[in-house]
Amino acid sequence: MNPRLALVAHDIVIAADTGVPSAFHVMEGIVSESYPMFLPMIAFLTVWHKEEGDPDEARGAMAVSLDDEQLISQDMDLTFSGSNVARLVARLQGLVIPHPGALKFSYKIGDKEAAYTVDTSSRANMTGVTNPAPVPQG
C-alpha cells in the first residue's frame, strides 16, 4: 500500500454517499502571539492506495511531533473494506504546541509514511509579513 495524500485542517469530513473527503481550513502555517498555544480542534487526513496482494487491513502508527519532540503517538487501523482506496481521519480534540517549529503529522505503515508539516511561528518573528494566517478559533 502507498500513501497518496496527507493534510491537516481544522476539520475533515468524509461524505457518506461518495467517500470523498472535504477539508475545512487547511493549515499551511500557524502564527501565534505567544507559546505555548492551544489548538482546540485539528484533524489529520491520509489517503492510501492498495496494491495487488496487499491486505485489506493494516495497523499503522500516527504521530505528531514538533521538531524532534514527539507530542502524540497512537496506533490506528487502516481498513480498505474491499476497495483500493482507504481514508483515515485522526481528529484531535485539543493540541498544545509548546513552542514555534515544524509541526509534523504522520501515519506510518511499515516503511511507508504519509506526512504533512505545518510551520508554526511567533508573530514577533513575522517582521515584514502582511496578513499571516490566523489560528482558527473555535
- Over the stretch 23-44, which tens digit does the pLDDT of each residue have? 999 999 999 988 999 999 999 9
pLDDT at 19: 83
* pLDDT score of 18: 86
- Rounded to whole angstroms, the Cα distance separating 96 from 35 reads 9
Q: In the prediction, which pLDDT does 134 show?
A: 54
Q: Return the CATH number of the domain spanning residue range 2-125.
A: 2.60.40.10
Task: Give per-residue pLDDT as tens, 94-132.
Answer: 999 999 999 999 999 999 999 999 999 987 554 544 445
Give the Cα separation of 36 and 4 in Å (integer): 32
Tell me the helix, strand and coil percentages in the chain, rounded to 5: 0, 60, 35
pLDDT at residue 50, as a whole number: 95
State pLDDT tens for residues 48-82.
999 999 999 999 999 999 999 999 999 999 999 88
Q: What is the pTM of this model?
A: 0.84
Q: How far is CA 32 from the centre of its chain?
A: 19
Short-list 51, 49, 29, CA closest to 39: 29
* The pLDDT of residue 17 is above 60: yes
Omega of the bond leading into 136 within 30 degrees of 0 (cis): no
Separation of alpha carbons 10 and 26, rounded Å? 6
Domain boundaries defined on the chain: 2-125
